[in-house]
Chains A and B, each alone.
Chain A
Amino acid sequence: MRDTEVETDGPPAEGSQHAEALARRAVAREAAAWEELFELHYRSVFAFVRYRLRSAEEAEDIASQVFEVAYASAARFNYQGVPIEGWLIGIARNLCRDYIKKLGRRGIDDEFDDSLELSAPDDTAAIGLRRDLLEAMQELTGDQKEVLQLRFLLDKSVAETAMLMQRSEDAVKNLQRRALAAMQRALGGAAYTEGGGG
């Protein structure tokens, strides 16, 4: 995992300039820019949504929708030092929330279970994510879930996480500790003693 002390590749100013130029081209709906953004961020977006949904197929679909929605509303993106990845993550968060609400209205136990079965015919081909971890994630608050995803699944530094969550680095460290404690509790680990968790 990268952390705040780890140097980034290349001069920060140069990277920032490229990111800004890329964002401007994206706002102008330049196809090449969007193809580059897709290559840069699809995996991150996929990972972000993966822990909020029940299957890789759903994650693939929602992650794809993120880019489609982003492209369609590119003109509304206002680049002001906020990385475009943060915007994509925000769209992903909203799409997941809407999707889960929709499932709730339809009744997860009937239609959704059927579609899951249809999408995963071969158990041996499926990647064995730990079901307990997925379930534990569902017991966290939105912020807790997000900080764990950004820090440990997307490998973001504290500084990057702070920027994406629009919080201070100290707040991220505090949230990270509380989220890990909540995760450990949800996994059935030893109760975290007063003062440390949260």
Chain B
Amino acid sequence: MNPDRIDALLQRSLETGRIPDDATAEERVRLAPLLAAAASLKLNATQVAQEANAAMPTARARFQRTLAQARAAEQPPVRQPVAVGQSRGGLLSRFTGRRGFAFSGAIAAAVVVAVFALVLIQPFGTVETASALTVDDYVQVDGVVSANDGNTVTLQSPALGDITVAVTDQTAVSDEHGERTLATLKPGDSVLVSGVVTARRAIAASNLAVAAGNATPPPEASATPKLLKQYREGLTGLVRVLALSPDGSHARILLVTPREQLLVDIDKAAMDRFLAQNPHPVGATVRVVEAPDLPKGVFRLEGAPGASATPAPEVTSPQFENVRGVVTGRTGNVYMVRTDRGVSPVVVRRTTTIRVGDSGLTLEDVLAGSPVVGHEVSVSGNPDAAGGRRIFATLIVVLGKAN
């Protein structure tokens, strides 16, 4: 049989969807399995297209982040302003070191004047402008939905203004009654989002909790938050954003006080302890505490005296569910956690942030499964859609071995 003839018949069959009338019986026998294989592929192409569509929002955000980073890297270097509140050691050494003496008197005088000018602009000398959302950080932030285009939700954060939140089929979305879908989110819904910052004002959401009832739209975000550099006695406020660096080494909160918004860097170990005691950090009222062993500009957190560390019950506030108990085993990516109310399966996903704290374990230990058995954990996440005890974890804090 002539292969060219079969090729031509196959092509015509693919174009028309049926074997041409002029095909012989023998040719039909040869064409039928080829068309069957093509049909199988096309059927699966539809499913792959669905997967691709689902992947698009996250991938788009990731690529936009790449473009933004590349653009930033291509910008000509900009002289950084002298930041008040930073360690002066480096600056002073320029004046006292050998290179410093090489400066002309006029230049040195100009720099000194500039420093004093900045001090005068910020007389308290305790803050500097900084960003609350850093690309690649894990964050928890609350706000009110102002728009939903089917792939992304615009979140109006009382602290930060509008944030674009990418929601995919991998995002766990729920309210107090169980699972919600992206389509059901509507303007006015009060939500708590966790995920990874993908751009200046964009988050790829891993978990999203919806509060019951509509919330009052938050007021306009106030001025740019300032980074707290020096300790202030009695500094107390409400946590609006929690941010954890990808390697777990840095932690930051956005603290809202009646007068201002402050970004506060929290010591890694102190943050782990705080999270272990406060499963609902966003919305908690806290006090910033200094410690002599911490670097300058890094602090500890405590529940504010006289105030509950968690929101008052009458406040409609979206929260992730919390499970605290002892790990009894792991099957695949599901960890069994024994609590006072029974055993809760905790689903750990790629997007789950795990803090090993003072547990003595490494992240690898936790993922390996066996070493974490017997350790106490505090888990935040969304409950299973089916109403079971299963939790899709967004944040896990591993504690010490249970007695």
Contacts and interface: CB of A to CB of B under 8 A. Distances in A.
Interface of A: 1, 3, 5, 29, 31, 34-35, 38-39, 42-43, 46-47, 50-51, 56-57, 59-60, 63-64, 67-68, 71-72, 114-115, 117-119, 121-122, 125, 127-130, 133, 148, 152-153, 155, 158, 170, 173-174, 176-177, 180-181, 183-184, 187, 189-190, 192-193, 195-196
Given A71-B63, A183-B37, 16 more contacts: A1-B42, A38-B59, A38-B63, A46-B52, A51-B48, A60-B59, A63-B55, A64-B63, A67-B63, A122-B347, A153-B44, A155-B45, A189-B33, A190-B33, A192-B33, A196-B3
A51 B49 CA distance: 12
16 contacts: A1-B15, A34-B63, A35-B63, A35-B67, A39-B60, A42-B60, A47-B52, A56-B54, A57-B350, A72-B70, A148-B41, A153-B41, A176-B11, A181-B34, A193-B29, A193-B30
Interface residues of B, number: 53
B34 A42 contact: no
Given A118-B349, A119-B349, A184-B36, A128 B47 contact: yes
A46 B62 CA distance: 14
Given A47-B48, A174-B3, A31 B67 contact: yes
B51 A152 contact: no
A32 B29 CA distance: 51
Given A121-B334, A192-B30, A187 B47 contact: no
Contacts of A50: 48, 51-52
Contacts of B370: none
A127 B51 contact: yes
A155 B48 CA distance: 12
Nearest to A149: B41
A184 B33 contact: yes
Contacts of A181: 33-34, 37
Contact of A42 (B59, B66, B347): B59
Given A1-B14, A35-B67, A56-B55, A129 B33 contact: no
Contacts of B15: 1, 3, 5
Contact of A130 (B6, B44, B54): B44
Contact of A195 (B3, B8, B51): B3
Contact of B11 (A34, A119, A173): A173
Contacts of A190: 33
A47 B55 contact: no
A103 to B, nearest CB: 17
Contact of B58 (A60, A128, A133, A187): A60
B348 interface: yes
Contacts of A68: 63, 66
Nearest to B33: A184
